[in-house]
Chain A
Amino acid sequence: MKVLVTVKEVAAVEDDFEIAGTEIDDTYLEYDLNEWDDYAVEEGVQLSEAGDDVEVVTVTIGPERAEETIRMALAKGADRAIRVWDDALEDAELLDVESKSKILSAVVEAEDPDLVLSGVQASDDSFGGTGVALADEVGFEWAAVVNSLDLDVDEQVAHVRRELEGGVEELADVETPAVLTIQTGINEPRYASLRGIRQAQSKEIDPQSFDDLGLDAAVADSALEITDMYEPESESDAQFLDGSAEEQAGELAGVLRDLGVVGQ
């Protein structure tokens, strides 16, 4: 069995940052493995540990820099990695869901996995759509916001739970091959062990260009364009408590007493 896990390197902005045009300068960004993808990787690795002959392959759309993040997934137990990059992507400011799902679909077609796991959303652009669009593109079945997976390989069905709003879960049976978008909390992602980190160094990260995947450069053209980026105007009328930590705590204690929620 083969499990393909989509792994995105996401950018987080530091507490202090500046916006230049429609971008945040690289110096204010920190790169990391997307939180939701971390859980997807773990789910894939757990499947491989539970069954014989399960290969876990990660796929990333990203520049060479992303290899650091990819190595983290490899160190946690993925077997090998594919990294898609192309000159055409160099200038793409905002890769939309359509572009990502088309690019990833070429990888799915080449790899022919039984299961694709992806994160519910990416913490930087938060589109939350790539997994489901990819499923539709390749004709797989799917389920979004999955927080529990029980895979029946023989019957070719994934018994999943989907986490709905307000503490309600939906139980569903999904035919495989399928794409599942993984919600945090489905498992406990492991830390990479030293041994894992060492082993990851020798695992393969296979670079693939659009040519390799039979994709046209136009796939990088996004229908969406960011025309403005700004810090949201705070509608806050918060009263900030100043001073040293002790002074702040003193004022806060007064507020809590005035509000009547803390005795005397």
Chain B
Amino acid sequence: MSNVLVVADHRRGELRDVSFELLTAGRQVADATGGDLHAAVVSGDVEEFGDQLNREGVDAVHTVANGEEFNHDVYVQATEALAADVDAEFIVLPNSVNGLDYAPAVANRLDRPYVSDVIDAAYDGGVLEATREMYGSKVETTVEVADGPFVVSIRPGEWPAAEGVGDASVEAADVDIDDSQVRSTVTGFEEVGGGDVDIADAEFLVSIGRGIEEEENLELIEALVEATGATMSSSRPIVDNGWLPKNRQVGQSGKQVTPKVYLAIGISGAVQHVAGMKNAETIIAINTDPNAPIFDIADYGIVGDLFDVVPALIEEFGGDAPNV
């Protein structure tokens, strides 16, 4: 019997969606290995969170009250102690920003292989076959983890959320956090990226990515925006370069947008970008690379050079395309 431990993710008083996805992924492992599924929640309003995590398929929920918000030193200690307590062979954590901040340390501390950002998993005779992406989502790989215990982190949004109300026990775990081993302190949170426009309100977003190459070339997109009455947004590199302000960034760490039309120009469709725009009603992509992952979620695609297509499009709407 191989028990499974999953550790929920929460922020500012709310469990994050991936917490319920972890329960589904964890249950899958537990079913394959014949073990129990233990869910844990660390810090914050653990009693409330604990009740929420008691969904179908969960055998036990363990709570560790310690501070309000995520602190990786606390999470590593708690996860390590709980894994021993509940005899967990397999540990399933979120590949969220918090997960990035502690999952590798958990694996290292427990001396177990770490498979990160897993998008699918299967078990064959106790061996985990994890599906991962490489080379910016251009290929998928099956990765086999030699039998034995492991730590995996799962990509948010890939497993359905566990539903229903379970009949698990929700109990405070007997875990002592050694404060001398807590060497980092969270001192606050800040919202960034306010400003002139809220791209989340826009009906038509023309979004530009690294395909634009140079800041001067943005003029071309500005002309398109002007001719069509659209709002301009972008992928992350454009903001990183300081070409557009942070409030224009679409994605995991930027804004979530749900426009009627999202026109992605010179954007590859990296998972962190897609996280912010996949719920647009209609997605249109212009990209030179026919294999760009953005086409997988697009409703309309143009395989072509933006420097040819965009000027022609501007003219279609009676605008003047600048020479770039």
Within 8 A of A (CB), among B276-316: 282, 284-285, 288-291, 293, 295-305, 308-310, 312-313, 315-316
CB distance from A183 to the nearest CB of B (A): 8
Minimal Cβ-Cβ distance residue in A for B237 = A184
State which size class the interface on A falls in. Answer: 35 or more
**Cα distance A169–B105 in the bound complex, in angstroms:** 22
Residues of chain B having any CB pair with chain A under 8 Å:
11, 72-73, 76, 95-98, 100-105, 107-109, 113-117, 129, 132-146, 150, 183-193, 203-204, 228-230, 236-237, 239-242, 246, 252-256, 260-261, 263, 282, 284-285, 288-291, 293, 295-305, 308-310, 312-313, 315-317
Within 8 A of B (CB), among A104-127: 120, 123-127
Q: Given that A144-B101, A236-B298 are contacting pairs, would A175 and B116 also be in contact in the complex, using a CB cutoff of 8 Å?
A: no
Q: Across the interface, which residues of B come within 8 angstroms of A136, CB to CB?
A: 76, 104-105, 108-109
Identify B301's interface contact among A16, A124, A238, CB under 8 A.
Answer: A238
Q: Across the interface, which residues of B come within 8 angstroms of A123, CB to CB?
A: 135-136
Within 8 A of B (CB), among A132-150: 132-133, 135-137, 141-145
**Cα distance A162–B187 in the bound complex, in angstroms:** 11
Identify A231's interface contact among B139, B240, B241, CB under 8 A.
Answer: B139
Identify A132's interface contact among B104, B113, B141, CB under 8 A.
Answer: B104
CB distance from A227 to the nearest CB of B (A): 5
User: Could you tell me if A225 and B144 are in contact, using CB atoms closer than 8 angstroms?
Assistant: yes
User: Could you tell me if B316 and A250 are in contact, using CB atoms closer than 8 angstroms?
Assistant: yes
User: Could you tell me if B113 and A96 are in contact, using CB atoms closer than 8 angstroms?
Assistant: yes
Identify A240's interface contact among B104, B189, B242, B301, CB under 8 A.
Answer: B301
User: Could you tell me if B140 and A248 are in contact, using CB atoms closer than 8 angstroms?
Assistant: no
Q: Across the interface, which residues of A come within 8 angstroms of B73, CB to CB?
A: 141
**Cα distance A122–B296 in the bound complex, in angstroms:** 23
User: Could you tell me if A126 and B105 are in contact, using CB atoms closer than 8 angstroms?
Assistant: no
Q: Does A217 contact B (CB under 8 A)?
A: no
Q: Across the interface, which residues of A come within 8 angstroms of B186, CB to CB?
A: 170-172
User: Could you tell me if A15 and B191 are in contact, using CB atoms closer than 8 angstroms?
Assistant: no
Most buried by B among A96, A129, A223, A234: A129
Q: Across the interface, which residues of B come within 8 angstroms of A131, CB to CB?
A: 104
Which of A79-87, A194-202, A254-262 has 4 or more CB atoms under 8 Å from chain B? A254-262
Q: Across the interface, which residues of A come within 8 angstroms of B304, CB to CB?
A: 245, 248
User: Could you tell me if B97 and A15 are in contact, using CB atoms closer than 8 angstroms?
Assistant: no
Q: Across the interface, which residues of B come within 8 angstroms of A256, CB to CB?
A: 204, 228, 261, 263
Q: Can you identify 19 A-B contacts, CB atoms within 8 angstroms? A: A12-B135, A17-B138, A24-B139, A98-B107, A128-B116, A145-B101, A168-B191, A170-B186, A174-B183, A175-B183, A224-B145, A231-B140, A232-B133, A232-B137, A248-B304, A252-B300, A259-B261, A260-B260, A262-B317
Most buried by A among B96, B102, B116, B228: B116
CB distance from A208 to the nearest CB of B (A): 22
Q: Given that A136-B105, A173-B184, A238-B298 are contacting pairs, would A163 and B97 also be in contact in the complex, using a CB cutoff of 8 Å?
A: yes
User: Could you tell me if B203 and A133 are in contact, using CB atoms closer than 8 angstroms?
Assistant: no
Q: 4 smallest A-B Cβ distances: which pairs?
A: A249-B312, A129-B104, A223-B113, A245-B308
User: Could you tell me if B316 and A163 are in contact, using CB atoms closer than 8 angstroms?
Assistant: no
Q: Across the interface, which residues of B come within 8 angstroms of A171, CB to CB?
A: 186-190
Q: Across the interface, which residues of B come within 8 angstroms of A184, CB to CB?
A: 236-237, 240
CB distance from B53 to the nearest CB of A (A): 20
Q: Does A90 contact B (CB under 8 A)?
A: no
**Cα distance A188–B102 in the bound complex, in angstroms:** 27
A197-236 interface code vs B (CB 8 A; 1 in, 0 out): 0000000000000000000000000011111111110111
**Cα distance A192–B80 in the bound complex, in angstroms:** 44
Minimal Cβ-Cβ distance residue in B for A226 = B141
**Cα distance A145–B236 in the bound complex, in angstroms:** 14
User: Could you tell me if B260 and A261 are in contact, using CB atoms closer than 8 angstroms?
Assistant: yes
**Cα distance A249–B312 in the bound complex, in angstroms:** 6
**Cα distance A126–B141 in the bound complex, in angstroms:** 12
User: Could you tell me if A172 and B184 are in contact, using CB atoms closer than 8 angstroms?
Assistant: yes
CB distance from A259 to the nearest CB of B (A): 6
Minimal Cβ-Cβ distance residue in B for A232 = B140
Minimal Cβ-Cβ distance residue in B for A132 = B104
Most buried by A among B109, B260, B312: B312
CB distance from A244 to the nearest CB of B (A): 8
**Cα distance A261–B254 in the bound complex, in angstroms:** 24
Identify A245's interface contact among B100, B108, B109, B309, CB under 8 A.
Answer: B309
**Cα distance A255–B302 in the bound complex, in angstroms:** 12
**Cα distance A175–B182 in the bound complex, in angstroms:** 10
Minimal Cβ-Cβ distance residue in A for B316 = A253
**Cα distance A231–B183 in the bound complex, in angstroms:** 43
Q: Across the interface, which residues of A come within 8 angstroms of B95, CB to CB?
A: 128
CB distance from B190 to the nearest CB of A (A): 5
